[in-house]
Amino acid sequence: MRRPVFSFLLLAGTLCASAALAQSTPNAPANPCQADVARLCPNAQGHQDVRACMQQNADQLSAECKARIDARRAKFQAAREACQPDVAKFCSDVQPGGGRIAACLKQHAAEISDACRAQWPSHSGNKL
């Protein structure tokens, strides 16, 4: 069975990266998960540690962080559904994980369907 193209780990990594960005960027929009990362994962080193910690403490996340995760999860689900035909067409031989599917889709950006392009996550400049 193939793993989902966009997984919860990718989502958690996005949240962690945006928390780090919010800490370093003046006037950045508040990330409701930033406080949870500081509270629940003060000793976490790097994105993988933070992801693991957040998953282990999922039941202790604030309502705001859970809402952000749910909203991001819905966006990623829409992107996964919209891009699945493109993944099957252009990236069927690519092993999921480590951003390889996203890299494959970027390599085929000129050929990607409008539906996939419209749903592609545009945070951090990851526009197709």
- Give the model's pLDDT for residue 106: 92
Q: Chunked in runs of 10, what are the mean pLDDT values of the chain (128 residues)?
A: 40 44 46 92 91 93 93 91 95 92 92 91 54
- Residue 66 inside a domain? The answer is yes
- Residue 27 inside a domain? The answer is yes
Q: How many domains does the chain have?
A: 1
- Residue 43 inside a domain? The answer is yes
- Give the model's pLDDT for residue 121: 65
Q: Which residue has the tokens 């960005």?
A: 21
- Give the model's pLDDT for residue 120: 79
- Residue 95 inside a domain? The answer is yes
- Residue 111 inside a domain? The answer is yes
- Residue 3 inside a domain? The answer is no
Cβ distance 72 to 123 under 8 Å?
no
- Give the model's pLDDT for residue 105: 93
Amino acid identity of 128? L
Supply the range of the domain harboring residue 94: 8-125
Dihedral through CA 77, CA 55, CA 47, CA 99, nearest 10? -30
- Residue 77 inside a domain? The answer is yes
- Residue 105 inside a domain? The answer is yes
